[in-house]
Amino acid sequence: MTRRPIIGGNWKMNGTLASAKRLVADLRNGLGSHHAADIVVFPPAPFLGVVQGKLAGSSVQVGAQDVHPMASGAYTSGTSAPMVESLGCGFTLVGHSERRAWFGDSDERVAEKLSAALHAGLAPVLCVGETLAERDGGRTFAVVERQLDAVLAAHRVPALAKLVIAYEPVWAIGTGRTATPEQAQEVHAFIRDRVVARLGDLFGAQLRIQYGGSVKPANAAALMACPDIDGALVGGASLDARSFGQIVMAASKRSPASSGGSR
């Protein structure tokens, strides 16, 4: 089964309104309109409306970096999923490792946020992955399984139709270190098998799983040549339109024969 690759650009807490506008203009000019991959950028919350407006009608979609689990209420500084959807955005990250580490998002809170995103009609990109200590301790699969099960146990297949999973080894984010294609593929295959076990063969075969962790133009093609890697969640390189465009091109050139999954 061929899965359409998905490339996400997570801008994190970077830039100003002026630099966001410049980046959007560079993306529109550089990416064109026809790709064999879905493209989504995740700007900081204050820029969502402007970025969405300037990318409307282009090949680039827009998503939030996080949503609050509640739809409305006295939650100062929160951004709800309905707010994001009302701007015309179609995606949100959920459970990014920096949210887990800096803001204390537990597996249970991540599951609540994912439910809120689905209820609002957003496509959630569920981020899972292990720290360096967890990898060195041989706990990679146990950690990823726990993070997955917290979400999968609460939903049935129809509700998760828009789900994307991003495997992001925490030890490879912003460090310059990258999991080898073999290391990444091993965890992606584990994720797909776990999803199959919980939600069935068809859903598991259709599910798109991104790799996130110091993805660059130099390593993108090798990573996305792996059978269970269906795209990339890009951090620093997404702030440069040329580098991001090269990663998109690497996904667009991915052979359909390489996207059939490990099963």
The CATH number of the domain holding residue 27 is 3.20.20.70
**Residue 175 located in a structural domain:** yes
Domain that holds residue 150: 6-71+79-258
> Residue 1's pLDDT is what?
65
CB 196 within 8 A of CB 152: no
pLDDT band at 262, cuts 50/70/90?
Answer: very low
Tokens of 64: 């939030």
**Residue 91 located in a structural domain:** yes
Sequence-distant (≥ 6) Cβ neighbours of residue 111 within 8 angstroms: 150, 151, 154
Percentage of the chain exceeding pLDDT 70? 96
Neighbouring CB atoms inside 10 A of 34's CB total 7
Is 256's pLDDT higher than 80? no
**Residue 1 located in a structural domain:** no
> Residue 260's pLDDT is what?
54
> Residue 257's pLDDT is what?
40
CA-CA distance, 213 to 187, in Å (whole number)?
13
Count of structural domains, the chain: 1
52-105: per-residue pLDDT in tens?
999 999 999 999 999 999 999 999 999 999 999 999 999 999 999 999 999 999
- The average pLDDT across 16-33 equals 93
- Which residues are marked as active site? 96, 168
pLDDT band at 255, cuts 50/70/90?
Answer: low
- The average pLDDT across 131-136 equals 92
**Residue 263 located in a structural domain:** no
Q: How far does the chain reach from its first CA to its final CA, in angstroms?
A: 10
CA-CA distance, 96 to 119, in Å (whole number)?
20
> Residue 178's pLDDT is what?
74
pLDDT band at 155, cuts 50/70/90?
Answer: confident
**Residue 246 located in a structural domain:** yes
